[in-house]
Structure 1
Amino acid sequence: MKRLNLLLLFATLTFTAYAQDTVKKATKIEKKQVEIACGECMFKMPGKGCDLAVRIDGTPYFVDGRKIDDFGDAHADDGFCNAIRKATVTGEIVDGRFKAKSVQLAETKKKEQPKSK
């Protein structure tokens, strides 16, 4: 009986130690300027619809915590399915996804309308 208990204890400790080693650490992002757009349409990420994504240091990540239509119509001329925009973000990258705490879009320059005579 002691051997069985000892074996179970050893197996539990081994599993626990292994499980802790495989946990991925989160990468914190603090007020970083990134590109933001539709992951599928603009960043060519795999998916079945239009989902918000950010590109941080050249790598795209789907966003959790904000939706693509939170910033207006994604399919408008300047929407995320048709344009890559700039944003300042804070959050963390966990398991290949960006967990957004804040997303602040950069102002876009509006095209001047020609003056009528």
Structure 2
Amino acid sequence: MKKLLFATLFSITFSCSNRKEVPQIVEIACGQCQFSLNSEQGCNLAVRIDHKAYFVDGFDIDAFGDAHDEHTGFCEVIRKAEVSGSVQKDRFKASAMRLIENVE
């Protein structure tokens, strides 16, 4: 009986720690220029989730074009993206990212 209880608890714990990342829609831009983050120097990609901004690990600010382009650059405009990942130690660890809004 103890072995069955242990096996059940172990499998529940293991399955909870392997949750799949759920894609979500977020705002995406330069953390310093658009979201007023100041813990890093220069221009770095960030997302805003539930009104809180996080620097992104896994994608570069220039991954979607010139960050300083006056019409589409992340330092100039806030865009929307569908992302998958998780917040870990006040950073967003991105596993997937796709822009969903075109800026004109």
Interval of TM-score (by shorter of Structure 1 and Structure 2): 0.7 to 0.9
How far apart are the structure 1 equivalents of 2:103 and 2:29? 17
How far apart are the structure 1 equivalents of 2:21 and 2:32? 23
How far apart are the structure 2 equivalents of 1:39 and 1:49? 9
Return the offset for 1:109. Answer: 5.0
**Over 2 Å off, 4+ runs:** none
Q: Is the 1:42–1:81 contact (alpha carbons within 8 Å) kept by the matching residues of 2?
A: yes
Scaled by the length of structure 1, what TM-score is found?
Answer: 0.68
Which of 1 and 2 has greater Rg? 1
1:73-88 equivalent positions in 2, closer than 5 A: 73-77=66-70, 78-88=72-82
The structure-2 alpha-carbon separation of the partners of 1:87 and 1:109, relative to structure 1 and needing over 3 Å to count, comes to same
Return the offset for 1:48. Answer: 1.0
Which runs of no fewer than 5 residues in structure 2 stay unpaired? 1-19
Give the number of equivalent residue pairs.
84
Pick from 49, 56, 71: which aligns with 1:56?
Answer: 49
Over the aligned positions, Cα root-mean-square deviation in angstroms equals 1.6
The structure-2 alpha-carbon separation of the partners of 1:41 and 1:109, relative to structure 1 and needing over 3 Å to count, comes to closer
Which runs of no fewer than 5 residues in structure 1 stay unpaired? 1-27, 111-117
Amino-acid identity (%)? 53
Scaled by the length of structure 2, what TM-score is found?
Answer: 0.76
